[in-house]
Amino acid sequence: MAAKRYSLAKIVLAVVLVLDIGRTLVFFVQEEKFPPFFFVQVFLWAVILLFFIGALDKLLDIAEQQREARAGNPLLTRIFDGVIDISAFAGALIVLYVAFAIGANVLMRALPWTEPLKWALPTTEFSLLYLTFLAAPIVLRREGHVRMTAITERLGGTARLWFYIVGSFISSGVCGVLTYKAFEKTVEEFQSNAILLQGIEVPRAEVTWVIPYGFTLLGLQFLRMGVNAVRLRRYRETVEEAGI
């Protein structure tokens, strides 16, 4: 049964991939420009292709033990984990891009017959924003973020647990508010066709959409951590270790 669902998922993804590529080509021929969020589309195409060749798990650093632990989770939880994993993979690709862009720009400046790449500086600046909000959810899931423990270290186990639970729920609420405000602003920028002029023209919404996206994942992950701590009455194991 699981094998049939897996095969059906591959067929559906293949159809979606072909239709999306066809739609993009038609748009390019008719408008003589790439559609909005084209680079996001290209990344999703790459993820689907990696999924087909079976290389996605290795690139996402998903171990066999971790996969087995996740197998018992509800479907929505597994999808959410997959979104976080893919976002982290996108962040890793962005790090490579930043290194390439800076290196190429330095090389162009050093050569007397070439000019600096005008797109290198603004795109690396945008990349830092993308990197922050794409990588933050997996850092949170692995409990790898910086904590201030001067107070909690002096508390007993039960009090420390409740500090963790309350802190997780408050953080989830804050992320929810920031998601709403950032999404509202991004929609406004998209409707007004606001442009960023930093050497190149880039629609502002194509840069800022990652902010509500990242805050959404962070808010859901904080909520998940708080719920798990209430349900299990512990928080020492990370979600990565417990597979929950």
Same-domain check for residues 173 and 90: yes
What is the pLDDT, as a whole number, of residue 59? 56
Q: Are residues 83 and 202 in the same domain?
A: yes
What is the phi/psi pair of residue 197, to 5°? -110, 95
Do 8 and 125 belong to one domain? no
Report the candidate in 205, 183, 201 with the shortest Cα–Cα distance to residue 192: 205
Q: C-alpha angle with apex 7: 5 to 8, nearest 5 degrees?
A: 60
> Is 0.85 surpassed by the pTM of this model?
no
Amino acid at 133: F
Of the residues 40, 63, 86, the one at which a domain ends: 63
**For residue 40, what are the domain limits?**
1-63
C-beta separation of 183 from 147 below 8 A: no
Which residues of the chain carry a pLDDT beneath 70?
1-7, 9-10, 28-29, 31-34, 36-43, 45-71, 113, 198-199, 234-244
- Buried/exposed 22-38: b ≥16 CB within 10 Å, e otherwise: eebeeeeeeeeeeeeee
Residues 137 and 191 in one domain: yes
What is the predicted pLDDT for the residue at 206?
83
- Tokens for 13, please give them: 């993804």
What's the confidence (pLDDT) of residue 53? Answer: 55
Residues 47 and 125 in one domain: no
